[in-house]
Amino acid sequence: MTDFKLYTPVVFIIFNRPDTTERVFAQICKAKPPKLLVVGDGARVGREGEAEKVAACRAIIKRVDWPCEILTNYSDINLGCKVRVSSGLDWVFEQVEEAIILEDDCLPHSTFFRFCDEMLTRYRDDQRIGMISGDNFQFNEARNQDSYYFSRYLHIWGWATWRDRWQTSYDVELRKWPFVRDGRLLQDLFSNKHEAIYWERIFEQTFCGKINSWDYQWFFANLIEGRFSIAPNVNLISNVGFGRADATNTHLVAKEANIALSPIIFPLKHPNFIVVNKVADDFEYTVLLHKSIYKRLYNKIKRIMISLSFRHECK
């Protein structure tokens, strides 16, 4: 990667974990983006020591030592995952036309940046593509002979997209969901009726505010627009934030946690057609999303135990 120069702005979403923030920032430093946009949430009321952790994370950004324009969007109060990330990305795409996006626990391989940079350029004017992901959840099973494949699913542990995709379709309030739900349109978008039922439940809970998330809305936006994502045939991002009491959505250690990183080889080998790899998508639904009632019950109990343990440590 020594002869590669990154031209795409990088977005870094941080909060209260200096250790993981430090690791991801070190990789960003190696890539040397020309513009770094940092989105940060404020400390929660009543969380002892969290304000200091938030300040420590923001101090890391001050270590930029290459020619770089730094823009920050820091909240003085805690907005929460849903509002902070969605409003932060709204701000990002008011500043730039396209961006590579990393959160504070999404550790990238160095080749991730070049992969996103090339894909953003190649598919900039192709409205069939909604985003580029650095994640591969096929667990060493190559789905084609190319460098990447196309998926209906969107993975945001290290990703990239364009202003026009975000601004023209993203809605954090999911206001189009009732029309899709009442028209039973998910049945037409998924060939597997159980998969349609799964996502109907997720979108309904998100719409009703029972899930404090911003990313299901992004998946919904691309789904109803008929857009696909690009997924590399090797894993370029490792989520190092699982199994921590201070995590927002990754309390439990999961199969997709801490996956080993692999480099993607250049020059890239491009697919001949833009067609969803149904084998890959079916695998992800079966292995990562579809859970038996016993597994869901186990996860709920485990989540409660982690929460109780965290409260005991804070006393």
Q: Is residue 68 part of a domain?
A: yes
Give the integer Cα–Cα distance in Å for 15 and 52: 11
- Sorting pLDDT into bands at 50, 70 and 90, what band is 96? very high
Token pair 């290290």: residue: 158
Q: Is residue 203 part of a domain?
A: no
Q: Name the domain count of the chain.
A: 1
pLDDT at 91 over 90: yes
Q: Is residue 283 part of a domain?
A: yes
Q: Is residue 139 part of a domain?
A: yes
Task: Answer yes or no: are the C-beta atoms of 65 and 99 closer than 8 Å.
Answer: no
pLDDT at 293 over 80: no
Neighbours of 92 (CB within 10 A): 23
Q: Is residue 3 part of a domain?
A: no
pTM of the model: 0.90
Q: Is residue 296 part of a domain?
A: yes
pLDDT for 257 equals 84
pLDDT at 312 over 50: no
CA distances from 272 to 149, 176, 185 (A): 10, 34, 30
Question: How far apart, in Å, do the first and last CA atoms of the chain sit?
Answer: 48
Q: Is residue 133 part of a domain?
A: yes
Q: What is the CATH number of the domain that holds 102?
A: 3.90.550.10
Q: What is the mean pLDDT of the chain?
A: 90
Give the integer Cα–Cα distance in Å for 277 and 254: 24
Give the integer Cα–Cα distance in Å for 35 and 10: 6
pLDDT, one tens digit per residue, over 62-80 is 999 999 999 999 999 999 9
Task: Answer yes or no: are the C-beta atoms of 40 and 54 closer than 8 Å.
Answer: yes
| In the chain, % of residues over pLDDT 90 | 81
Number of helices and strands (H, E) in the chain? 11, 10
pLDDT at 311 over 90: no
Token pair 């101090």: residue: 59
* DSSP run (H or E) holding 27: helix 18-31
- Sorting pLDDT into bands at 50, 70 and 90, what band is 256? confident
Q: Is residue 306 part of a domain?
A: yes
pLDDT at 1 over 80: no
Is residue 305 classed exposed, middle or buried when 0-12, 13-18 and 19+ CB atoms within 10 A define those classes?
A: exposed
Partners of residue 228 on adjacent β-strands = 129
pLDDT for 2 equals 60
pLDDT at 123 over 50: yes
pLDDT, one tens digit per residue, over 207-251 is 999 999 999 999 999 999 999 999 999 999 999 987 655 555 544
pLDDT for 258 equals 79
Q: What residue numbers bound the domain in which 258 lies?
A: 10-172+214-314
Angle between helices 50-61 and 18-31 (to 10 degrees): 10
pLDDT at 307 over 60: no
Residue 207 carries which side chain, given as an amino acid letter?
A: F
Q: Where are the beta strands (DSSP E) in the chain?
A: 10-14, 35-40, 69-74, 98-103, 106-108, 129-133, 148-151, 159-162, 228-232, 237-239
pLDDT, one tens digit per residue, over 133-159 is 999 999 988 889 999 999 999 999 999
